[in-house]
Amino acid sequence: MSRQRPESEKMLEVRKQLREDLQYLKSSYGIRPEMRRRTKTDEADITHIEKLNLLQAAEALRTVRRELAKYPQEYLQFCALERLRLVKTLQTQEKDLQGEALYTGRAYHEDRILYLATSGEGLYSLQGTLHHELFHLSDSAQIQRNTQMNTYHFSNRRLAHLIYQRMYDHEWEKLNPQEEKAYVGQAYFTHPLRENEKDLEGFALPSGTIDPWEDRATIAGVLLTDPKTTFEKAQRDMVFRAKLERIMALYKERSRGKMDESYFTDLAAGKVIEGYWKKISL
């Protein structure tokens, strides 16, 4: 009969794993996830952060390491992620909602920082939220590049950015039968969908009905988290299929061709794990 090891020995192993994962993320991707309490360096609209304990932090780091391995360096460079904050819960002040709101993740485009909370469940878990928020960063990077390439047309740089964002969103809206009317905006938070409305035509998750940004990011999140189920939905939902094909094309474009059809086949088969990108380059 085996004896249980002392708790202190277990915690030493957890600390060792945590240090190894921090070092790996720093050397492989140039990021060192931050897991401290809220400080003055956090975004101004964040009102509360619940810090992860040691076990939670170690588990979160292992998840981030596993999920980032699904991306080639080219895509992560396109996203230009500079900082990553891992927390248990995240609360922000929302002007449109006239109060505070709990989030599982936030992307701050100008500072190139992601906040990821571990409190979500299912497709809103840390795994899904990481892919969701990273896609937000890649979307903003795309619009920023378009703006920089064409600002000579505009005297106001902010106006140029807004115009290119609207053009980008409008192209996406055309994929919906109702076009822009398919989105409900902030009403999503005050008028939640009933259970029988949650498998919406053309949408990966109910929160995708907020706006085109959330629509794209929710599809990206479920695709990288549960590709098999995502492809199955695309077989019976033609609107969703058109959107999914567009998302996959964007991944391919933003990864310089690395995340192609073969990649997504391998992803669905569970072959995209740590070491995948080195293996296929041989």
pLDDT tens-digit readout, 94-136: 666 555 566 788 888 888 899 999 988 887 899 999 999 999 9
64, 166, 182, 161: which is closest to 117 by C-alpha? Answer: 64
Q: How confident is the model at residue 5 (pLDDT cuts 50, 70, 90)?
A: low
The pairing of strands 83-87 and 113-117 is parallel
Distance (Å, whole) CA 227 – CA 206: 18
Q: What is the number of alpha carbons within 13 Å of residue 60 lying toward its C-beta? A: 27
pLDDT in tens, 173-212: 999 999 999 999 878 877 666 544 457 899 999 889 999 9
